[in-house]
Structures are given as structure tokens and as C-alpha cells.
Structure 1
């Protein structure tokens, strides 16, 4: 009797598992067909600004200021994102001597030109936490003494060209409307609801949740051992592009970083200090661009879509070197905290495009002004 019962249960369980496999494979097949259809070209090669974007942007600015106030320390107002820096490093950015003529625009117009620059390396969170926590990692690059009219008229940034990146090739929201919903939920401490704005499953953003989880990656061995991406698109003269910075150790002396102690709260800063300040070994990167092919699904207005490298390969336009240096002083850390990076600190040849970049223009400027004003008030008390 017991044997027959177990046999019946085994057959029932096998049928259930088979049914679940069939349902899973069917869902995967339907999803593949749907996304192949949805993510197919051609796409627009010009910006398409939706109605109501300005009002949504103002709401996001208010939420961003709430976040910086929530995470301020006892004396200083921190950034609304990438609050914890591993260091601000002096750098040289050198345009390739043999750069293709079709890419010679803006700061890349003169072959062999070397720009002096600052590089800020950071964690992505709005408040400082241990480096071993899963997080995005950021690189902000500021070229100095760049002549020419800039897109923003701020007197403090008239000679700067900024490039802002983080270490994942896609963003976890598609547009300003979704960013408003997502960021408002996070500002209210409802992170679990950021990708589930309502009971209707059609409003759920499962794909974007997966991108967000992939973005929150384990820390690298060192901030100079990972790739940093622009995420959103930009102009390069007549081209629509994305850009990235990749490690290029072949351009520097051989170096093996000692195994870091990941239990230390600031081991990424320690790794940077070990290489540049103690061992006096430079770190090297390559700056690359990827041109949009609008015949394929490479949208301007949706940075959650990674542009296909098999269709549009990345091309190196410049090299970056972080020379050996001493950077971890209280004076330089304060200088680093006060540096403002904005992709709109830019020549027209590198103009940011797309909804997320239009949002950045308003939010970065408003939060930077608010943060620096509040910090000046605190310093005078």
C-alpha cells in the first residue's frame, strides 16, 4: 500500500515538475520573441522630448534635496549619489596620435594633445558605507584648461570638460517619468517598491530591477581595475555616441596589487594609496567611444538598453594615466569633496543627449548649488 502511494506521489511530482518546465520554457520563448520585437530598429537619431518632462524634473530635484539632507553627516551635506570618494587623483589624458579624422572633435580634435585632469573615484551610494557592500562604482573625469564656449555659463567651470561614468553598461530606468517614480520611492525609504509602483503587473519593471541588482556588484580589488561607462548617449561632433573607460595595464609598468583586506571599511582607498603613493606605480586606462547605428536598436531616449558591441564596436580615442602621487591628505580630501562634476560642463561638440542627461543638467546643478551653499553656512557657524 505504502509503495503504491509513493509511486503515485512520484508520478504526480514528475508531472508537476514537467509542467513547470514547460511553462518556464514557454514563458522564456514568449519573452524572447517579445523583446526581440520590442528591441528592434530602426530608432531615432535625434532627441524626442516628451511633454511634462520639466515638471517631473522639478519634483526630482525636491526629492534629491531630501536625500542629501537625510544622509548629511554632523557638519557637511553630502552628494545625493556617489557620496563616498576613494580619492581625487591628478591625471593626464592623451589623444591618440593616429586618431581617425572622423572622430577629431572637441577635446579630441588635436592628435597627441595631452590634457591635465582630475579623476574622482567613488562608491555609488548616497551615504558612505563599507567598501565590501555591493554597490555601483563611479569615475568622474574633469579635463582642465579646455578653451571654448561651454554649454553651462557658470564662471567656475568655463575651462572644464567633464565625463561622468559608472561601472555598468545600462541604467536601471528608461526615462524621466520612471526615474521620478523610482527615486521618490527610494527617497521615502521604500526601495522594495521602487520597481513595483502599483498592483498592476503591467507597471512592474522586472527587467530594470535585474539591471539594478547587477549594478550593485561586489567591489573590485581596486578602483583602477574595473570598467566605467557613460550609460547615457552624447554627441561627438555629428555622431551620437556612448563612451567608456577601460583598464589598460599594458600601457603602464607591470604591477600586482597585494591582496586587499576586504574587512577594512575603506579598502578601495587603501588599494589606490598602496599603488600610487606607496609603491609609486601609475595606473592606466583607455577612453573609448561607441557610435550609434540608428538602423539597429540603439535608442537615445532609453539608457536601460545596452548598445550592441557586435554591431557598433568601441573605438579608443585617448589614453588616461594616473601618475604616482600623494593624494590622501585632509586638504585634498576637502578639495575633492567640493569638486562639482556635471556632464553639462562641456563643449557643444560633447553635448549630452537623451532624457536622463536632460535631467542631469537640472538636478546636478541644483543639488551642487544647494550642497555647497549649505556647507558654506556650516563652515561659518
Structure 2
């Protein structure tokens, strides 16, 4: 029970305040970069120089008043403690310089309970609240002329009165001291103490000797060491109680609490203690405590986010991308310029150099406006145990669950994390069955006649399904639990929802599993980690292994389980194309294990396995980035852009190098040569990303299989004959070489209206009979993805106002008019299929907006594809293997008979063998 105090949140609510604090934390990280000396290490944003630290200390409670006997505050109780004294500056200064001084104490009650107490030798803060604290830190970072210019800016941000008050408080607090043992240290901000609010302080115990005369750059350490050679150092821990909002405010840290200081404990630093580097390395945070002692006030609340981010930045667990001033200025100019140009002429109709600049500006706009975090995050913060550091394995290897990719936020992008958004969700319950999705599918999606994509081969279709199974998997309820029900149109007699089941007046689809009634969690990790091959849990991964290698049959195929399904990371919606891809990469993994073993004979199986897995995942990423993407988006602009994403700008392309130096210097050397950057929003894949990758029209219904050697026809097959449990039989019948060859010389379907595979319109999956085209529509509607026109507008494209502007095909326009009451009700997937894409593109420009944003984000956010893309993680052999491996090289390695038949890009049509 409280004693009348209350907290007030900046922005009006805990959630609004949390978003403010995230921005403030990023600003504070910039102070670390400004304070860093050229070539020196990144230091704390504040209190960068430790003066003395030790774990040889204890905290013993005195006769604590009855109303303060909470938690560990038990009369007579004694606990081990670690103590760190420091200077307050974010730069390393001479101890003789005037400065504020800090003290931090970690009291260890048990392995799972610690309490961090943080104090400064001034009774009040220069800043009233978190905003002032952050603005002042940013303004005064770096020292010298930069600091004075920052203070001038502060006058315009906070006003002259508050700026002068803050500067005056800091100047009064900055002073020379003779010993850290003779100072009093105040918390300056309150904490809860059970139902009471208090501030606390440490003051020298009676009888503490005066400071001895020492001098020198580090004299405070020397003085403390000398003092402890003679005797213990004792300080009293006191508390000041809350009295009322005016004299002891909770949210205004610039007001000194005038209540009496009551001694409740004694901190003893034991004689003989010496300076301890391990304690200097501790990362203190006032939220490392229990709920009874949770910090109060917005300055404390911002410290949870800011201190964690600052500590992670110093420990190379969090990165900040420095954007040169010229890039910020040129970037703003480009966004404005191309914002005007695009009203009259789209990017793909500009000269190549301008198209590239336009795309760079567009990506910048999308990063700023179309990354929406949907994950539920704690607001306000909660007390917690001291966070455990990542293990050596978590630092060096990917986890199967996707945890610890971001070392500062271990759950980011992990299995179960919510899908984000690129476009704000729009719930339209009145339109969930309007128009009837069965009618939409029948009239606009069903394939009447196969329309090929002549610039691609079927490997491109198999590849993207192979990738999607790694990226995005929504959990589904079994049929009969939370079904999505779609009434049948009047002219349909009925639908069998299960194989051989009775005809029913509605089509039922197993509903997606939701979290909090709204969010959808990803069953796979959001990271590009090859989980379709390796599994999404450690237990699953172990089942797939035989030592370091993946389990395979002696003749090099995936083994089968008792139900006849291939044993691999993800085998849902299985068909021959997936079987070929999984087999190819399983063989590559096992070959890599042999290569790594020959070079590192003393490595244990786990390290061999994990390193091979890293290499395979990166090969997949590279192939998708610089081969599959330029194949399906076949324009010189995109080929250049995707190669720059991976490899940077070629040294001889001086024009592009000059342009990127001016506009985006971090892109000069390719994403793997940079550091992770989430662009202000925690990383996740998005529901909109799922929507634009609905590419089932790529799948043909009919196949012809030929011998690679002479091109002879082996046999023809329809999709059901190479799908499900028949896929493995077909792969063994044809062999991997002839299967890949047959797919390489044949075309997939075009991503367009009236081209959805017939085989997927009455498809059996996990006990359900589904029309997958209807399911695609249902899922998009139920996940609150906006309809097509709203989707376009949110992605900075003009709305379509005429049916004729949606499709160039008069027959399709007539069907669209007949099915939809309004152009604004057109389903997103239907609009994406109807839209005429730019020349050379395999999908629409609207879908491309999500693609251009997420294609680089999936690389840029991943530390294993940026900061940890280095020999210490992958080995030199591993990086060389990635660099030399294309899809063509990979196929040639495992199917050498195909080497002479492969084009430079394996996803483009192969030449046929003569019969």
C-alpha cells in the first residue's frame, strides 16, 4: 500500500513513454560515439572512468524501522556486495579535473536476487526528467567546441531558463575531491521500499579519516588502495522518506528531498581490498532488483532502457550506425526530390543511375515510415534479476530457436515472436466474407490455361517455397477448433472439408493460433537461418543429426519416418521441388562437415555442425540475394542493386561510389561489411511480407522429366504424382541430377490472375481438404492486411481510381467489376496479381515496395550477416566457400554431370540436351 505518492508518465501513458524512451536510448548511444576518442574503445555514455572497484564488501542492516522491514531489509542481515566508484563524465579524464563522482553497489542476496544501488555525489540531478537528461547528454557530448554548440542548441530546445539552471547545477556539482571514501552519494531519484517511497544515500561513517594527499592522473584509485591497506572503509546507507508531492516529488529529480536521512545499514569495504577489473566490467542498472524495491520516476524508467543499451553497446552486443552529416543532408534532399519526381514518372522509367538513387531514397522513406513493431513490450519496466550474459556458444553460433541473434534483446526474432507490420493493420470484420472468397478465387484466380513465366525455370518456383518455409510459418489449429467458416456460393452443391467426408454447406479452414487474441507468432524464427533444413528447435535439430552431419541414406537422400515423410527441418506442403532443394543442401552440409573436419581434426562434432550450418545458411542468403532476385526481377537496375547489397560497389564504378559516398556511405562495401542496424524498430518479418510472397501461381500442374545426358523423355507427371509421400519416390526414380535438369529446362507459371495451380484447388493438407487459393485470401483478410488500394497508399503509391488502371486485360477488368462492388474492396493478393509489373519483373511494383524494404533488412539486422560475418565465426575456409558458391556452382558440385549445361544464373532457363 502506498503513502500517497504516484507516478506520472511522459506522453500520457506507459506505452507512449516507452516509445519515447527507446528514441532517447538511441540518442544516448550517440553520446558514446561522440565521446569516443579516434580509434579508441566505445565507453559508457556516463561514468566512463572507474576509479576503484571491489567485490570485497558487505552490507549489514541495522535495526531497521518496522515499516521498512521489506524483502532483504532484515535487521542484522548481512550480504556480500560489489562496489564501484567512478567519475561521472562520459570521457576518460584526469582525476584532478573537477567532475561529479558516482558510486554503484550490487548487493547479492542469492544467486537469483541482486539489488543495484546507483548514486552520485550531488543531492539533485541537473535534469528534471528523462527528456532534459537526454537532451543535455546529447548537447554536451564530445567536449570542446562541439559541447558549446550543443549548449546553444539546448537553449532553443529547453529554453534559456532551464538551460541555465541545468548548467548551473552541473557546475556546482563538478568539483575536485580528495577521496571517494569521504564523499556522500545520493540516489537523487526515488525507489519503492515496500509501500513507501524513499531516496537513499551513502555517507562516510563517523570517524572516517580525511583524505591523504595524493596526486596524479589516477590518484583516486591510489588513495583508496592506500586507505584500505590500513583499515576497513565504512559508509552508512540511509533513506529519506516521501512526504508529499511538493517537497519530495517523484517525477522531478531537480528538487532536493528535505526529509531526514535515517541510517538503516552499513556498507563495509574490507581492508586489503584492491581494485578489481571484473567489478569494473559489471553493468549496473537500478532495475536489477525485486518488485518491492522497484525504481520510481521517469528518470529511473528511462535508465532501464538507456543503461541496458549503453552496456550492450560497450560489450559489442549492440551496435549504432553512424550516419555522416553529408548523408543526412543529401538523403533528405533525395527524399524530397524523388517524392516530387515519382508523382509524374515511376522509378523504373528513369535512367539507370537515377533509378538506383530513386530506389535508395524510397528505401529510406520505407525504413522511416513502414516498420511497425507489434510485439507486446513491458511498459512501465519491471524489476528483474541481473540479466545473464550470452554463453560462448550463443555468441558464436546461431541457436535453432533464433534467440541471441540480437545479443542485447535475446528474444528478438526468435521462434514465437510476433509478426510485425509494414502497413498498419486495418480490421474490417464487415468485409471478412465480402465478396465471398470462393467466388473471388473461382472468377479471378483459378487457372484456365497455363501461363508460363518464360524468363524463369521451375527451380525458381521450388526455391522460393524452400525459402518461405524458413522465414514464415503461422501456427494453425486442427480442423474443428476455431475454424474459419466461409459460406458456399448458391451454385456450389457442397464441400468436403476432410478426405472422404460429407459435403457441407460451408468451407471450413483451421484457424490461426493467436496470442492475446490479436498477434500472430512465427513458428519459425524470423532470421534467415536455414531452419527449413535444420529445424526450429534444438530437440528437432538433434533428431536430424548423426554426429556433425545430417542424417541421410547411403545413396544420398533424406531418410523417411514411419509415416513416409522426409526427415528434415520442415516438410509441410512437400513436393518434388522441395525434396530436391532439401536434398541438395543436406548434401552440401555433409560435404562441408568433411571439409571442416579435415582442416580442424580436433574440433568436436558440435563445432563442426554449427560452423557448417552457418556456412550453409549464408550460402542460401547469398544465392537468394544475387541470383534468385535478379532472375525474377530481371532488370539491370535490380541486378546492380542486389549485388551492391551483398558485395558493395565495384572499385571501378566510381560514379556509384561517389553517389553512395554522398548519400549512403554505409552501403559502399556491402551489408556483410557493416554492423547490425534495425533502423529504429526491433527486427521481425511482417504480415505484409507474408502477403507479397504468396506466389503459388509459380507452380505448374504438368511436368515432363528428361534425362540430362541426352534429353530423352523419362515420363510425364501431374503435380499430385510428385507431391506429398509420392515426392520421395519420384526423386529416387529420376535421381537428383535428372530432377534438377528437368526443372531447369521448364518454365514456372506467371504470377498473375487466372493462373493459380489447379492441383492446389482441392488439396489435402494435414487432414483438411482445402482450396489453397481461397485460404490465401482468407488468411490475408483475417490478419487485417488492408485491401489493395489502402495497401498501395500506405506504401507511398497513388490509389487506383479506374478499373482499367489496375489491369491491362479487358477480360480481367470485366471480371473484377463483376466480383467487387468497389475498386477499394479489391483483395490485396488479387490487386498484386492483376497489376502490370515493370518490364522484366516477375511480380508487381506494389509488392516490390515491401520487397525492397525487407530484402536488405533481413541482412542488415542479422549479426551473423554483418558484425559476425568474419573468419573467427565462419573460418576463413567458410567465408571463401560462401564467396565462391553460386547456385550453379552448388549444383555442379553435387551433380557434376550438369556442369556444362548450367547457365550463369541457375534460375534462368537452361539449354536443353539434344535427343
Pairwise TM-score range, normalised by the shorter structure:
0.7 to 0.9
Q: Are positions 1:260 and 2:214 aligned together?
A: yes
Q: How many residue pairs were aligned?
A: 311
Q: Is the 8 A contact 1:56 1:176 kept in 2?
A: no
Question: Which of the pair has the greater relative contact order for Cα pairs under 8 Å at 6+ separation?
Answer: 1
**1:183–1:194: 8 Å Cα contact kept in structure 2?**
no
Other structure's SS at 1:336 match: helix
User: Are residues 45 and 79 of structure 1, via their aligned partners in 2, closer, same or farther at CA, if it must alter by over 3 Å?
Assistant: same
Distance 1:58 1:244, change over 3 A: same
Q: Which residue of 2 aligns with 1:343?
A: 286
| Separation of aligned partners in 1, 2:167 and 2:310 | 26
Q: 2:156 aligns with which of 185, 195, 198?
A: 198
Higher-Rg member (1/2): 2
Listed as ranges, the gaps of 5+ residues in structure 2 are: 319-394, 396-866, 874-915
Aligned pairs (5 A) from 1:88-237: 88-89=53-54, 90-96=56-62, 98-108=63-73, 110-146=74-110, 158-187=112-141, 189-191=146-148, 193-194=150-151, 196-198=154-156, 204-218=162-176, 220-237=177-194
SS at match of 1:121: strand
| Structure 2 match to 1:9 | none
Using the TM superposition, give the Cα deviation of residue 224 of structure 1 relative to its aligned residue in structure 2, in angstroms.
0.3
Partner of 2:271: 324
Question: Any idea what SS the aligned residue of 1:197 has?
Answer: helix
Gaps of 5+ in 1: 1-42, 148-157
CA separation of 1:268/1:116 partners in 2, compared to 1, >3 Å: closer, same or farther? same
Q: Is the 8 A contact 1:77 1:374 kept in 2?
A: no
Query: Is the 8 Å Cα contact of residues 200 and 239 (structure 2) preserved in structure 1?
Result: yes
**Contact (CA 8 Å) 2:237, 2:263: kept in 1 or not?**
yes
Asked if 1 retains the 8 angstrom alpha-carbon contact of 2:72 and 2:109, the reply is no
2:95 & 2:245 partners in 1: Cα distance? 41
Large movers: runs of 4+ above 6 Å: 375-378
Deviation (angstroms), 1:185: 1.7
> Are residue 291 (structure 1) and residue 241 (structure 2) matched?
yes
State the TM-score, normalizing by the size of structure 2.
0.32
CA, structure 1 residues 59+200, in 2 after alignment: closer, same or farther (shift >3 Å)? closer
Q: Match for residue 45 of structure 1?
A: 5
Q: What TM-score, normalized to structure 1?
A: 0.75
Q: Could you tell me whether the CA contact under 8 Å between 2:48 and 2:88 is conserved in 1?
A: yes
Q: What is the CA-CA distance between 1:201 and the residue it aligns to?
A: 5.5
Q: Does the C-alpha gap of structure 1 residues 191 and 362 become closer, same or farther in structure 2, counting only changes over 3 Å?
A: farther
CA contact (8 A) 1:105 1:349 kept: yes
Q: 2:345 maps to which residue?
A: none
Deviations 1:190-220 (A, max 9, x none): 34643742299666432222111112122x2
Map 1:349-364 onto structure 2 (within 5 A).
349-364=292-307
Q: Distance in 2 between matches of 1:64 and 1:123?
A: 18
Q: Which residue among 226, 232, 240 is the counterpart of 1:282?
A: 232
Distance apart, 1:106 and its partner CA: 2.4
What SS class does the counterpart of residue 104 from structure 2 fall into?
strand
Separation in 2 of the partners of 1:111 and 1:200?
Answer: 46
- 1:68 corresponds, among 27, 32, 46, to 32
Query: 1:191 and 1:114 mapped to 2: Cα distance?
Result: 47
Residue 146 of structure 1: how far off its partner (Å): 3.5
Residue 270 (structure 1) aligned to one of 214, 222, 226: 222
Considering fraction of residues, name the structure with more strand: 1
Q: Does 1:367 align with 2:324?
A: no
Secondary structure of 2:156's match? coil
Specify whether residues 282 and 199 from structure 1 end up closer, same or farther in structure 2 by C-alpha distance, changes over 3 A only: closer
> Secondary structure at 2:304's aligned position in 1?
helix
